Amino acid sequence: MAVGSLDTYGACTGRSRSLWSMDYVLKLIELMLHVWVFVFMLPLYFETKIMF
C-alpha cells in the first residue's frame, strides 16, 4: 500500500520515485539537524542564563 502510494505520488508530480525518495531523505536529514541543534543549544542557553 505504502509503496503504491509513493508510485502514485511520483506519477502525479511527474518526478521519478528515486528522486522523490532522495528529496524525502534530504528533508529527513534537515529535520534531524534542526532537532539536534535545538537539543544541544537549549541546555547551553539555559546554562548561560543561569551563569549571568
Between CA 19 and CA 11 the distance in angstroms is 12
pLDDT, residue 9, reads 56
Nearest to 3 by CA among 19, 23, 17: 17
pLDDT, residue 19, reads 73
> What does the pLDDT look like over 1-49, one tens digit per residue?
455 555 555 566 565 667 778 889 999 999 999 998 888 888 887 887 7
Between CA 20 and CA 6 the distance in angstroms is 8
pLDDT, residue 47, reads 80
Cell (9 digits) for 27: 528533508
pLDDT, residue 1, reads 44
Domain-wise residue ranges, the chain: 2-51
pLDDT, residue 31, reads 94
Nearest to 42 by CA among 25, 50, 2: 50
Between CA 32 and CA 36 the distance in angstroms is 6
